[in-house]
Structure 1
Amino acid sequence: MSLPDKAFPVSWDQFHRDARALAWRIADQKKEWRSMVAITRGGLVPAAIICRELGIRLIETVCIASYHDYRHQSEMEILKGISDNVRVNDGEGVLVVDDLTDTGKTAQIVRSMIPKAHFATVYAKPKGRALIDTFVTEVSQDTWIYFPWDMGYAFQKPIADSHAG
């Protein structure tokens, strides 16, 4: 799988605003969260923002590797599971946070561990959207999201230049 042609670069400011918007959507549900699970690594940044906004203190991680070289999605590998105290009652009252759902494979694995948890991502693509309960922005499946922690400042060619014939 090569990188898609469409690019969606996200600045730190935009990501912070989008993560706070996700926190607002979750807060509107008026639920008490007993803990949060951040899907690493991408879910760590939005989890930090959302747990601050919602006052969640118990934060767990689940570590699943799928993009080993940022270009090719490979077999899913669970590097660290979820602790037993978070898995109580199939994860009821647990908020799961990630930066993005792409194909939904990661969410599917985590949902099998804690099926009653509430899944939230900042961004969602159509293939993974059905596995997510709350998200902020949907992007097309053929778009690659460039997160701020993956980028440095560099010149970007205008879109028109890439379409010129």
Structure 2
Amino acid sequence: MTKPDTDLYVSWTDYYSQVETLAVQIYESGWTFNQIVCLAKGGLRIGDILCRLYDCPLAILAAASYGGQHNQERHGLVFSRDLTMTTANLGSHVLVVDDLVDSGITLERSLQWLTSHYGFYIEEMRTGVLWYKSTSVIQPNYYVDFLDNSPWIHQPFESYERITPQQLAQRHQIQKAANSLDCDRPSA
């Protein structure tokens, strides 16, 4: 459900539907790739699902550009020192995935980072995201939704940024107690 021009709220069901739509779009393009690089944190789930579907190795490039309250404040872009991957070398045809392009700076600089660190392996790179905002300086090769009004996207996993492990444990204790009460009730 959306609030016009300000917020887009995404459920788990909608999120996975978006990822599947992206996977089909890439498949139907006919492009063959032999490596997926996901940008962490937002691209982790997408990269995981795509590497399972395509049976293709996954590499992770950690990048951070947001922080502050509810991770909604843009900060300087920071990259990990290296890729995390299980293969000896990066593939030659690389699909770079993230959840969205807002300003597009993270995706654009990630491509530059990959080229400067692994360019000798790479013959071609393409990009895929779920949401492509009109405010982006780069257009991804594959995207599910183009967002002309550039809303703030509330993804289902963001709830974990607003809860502590202690609060989660308390919630689980309450749920266990409620389930225990339901089991103790006689059947009708």
Superposition TM-score, scaled by structure 2 size:
0.69
TM-superposed CA distance for 1:5, in Å, is 6.3
**Mapping of residues 87-98 of structure 1, within 5 Å:** 92-98=92-98
Check whether the contact 1:107–1:131 (CA below 8 A) recurs between aligned residues.
no
Check whether the contact 1:124–1:137 (CA below 8 A) recurs between aligned residues.
yes
TM-superposed CA distance for 1:18, in Å, is 0.6
Tell me if 1:127 matches 2:135. yes
Match of 1:39 in 2: 39
Q: Root-mean-square deviation (CA), in Å?
A: 2.2
Match of 2:181 in 1: none
Query: Going by fraction, where is helix more abundant, 1 or 2?
Result: 2
Unmatched segments (≥5 aa) in structure 2: 116-123, 161-188
**Mapping of residues 12-161 of structure 1, within 5 Å:** 12-56=12-56, 58-69=57-68, 70-82=71-83, 85-86=89-90, 92-114=92-114, 116-128=124-136, 130-151=138-159
Once residues 119 and 145 of structure 1 are traced to their aligned partners in structure 2, the CA distance between those partners, rounded to angstroms, is 19
Check whether the contact 2:135–2:150 (CA below 8 A) recurs between aligned residues.
no
Larger Rg: 2
Structure 1, residues 70-104: CA drift from partner, whole Å, max 9, x if none? 12101101124337822x6xxx4111110011100
TM-superposed CA distance for 1:31, in Å, is 2.5
Task: Report how many aligned residue pairs link the two structures.
Answer: 144
Matched to 1:77, the amino acid is: V
TM-superposed CA distance for 1:139, in Å, is 1.8
Matched to 1:121, the amino acid is: V
Once residues 75 and 141 of structure 1 are traced to their aligned partners in structure 2, the CA distance between those partners, rounded to angstroms, is 24
Identity over aligned pairs, percent: 24
Once residues 20 and 6 of structure 1 are traced to their aligned partners in structure 2, the CA distance between those partners, rounded to angstroms, is 25
Unmatched segments (≥5 aa) in structure 1: 153-165
Change in Cα spacing, 1:110 to 1:11, as seen in structure 2 (3 Å) is: same
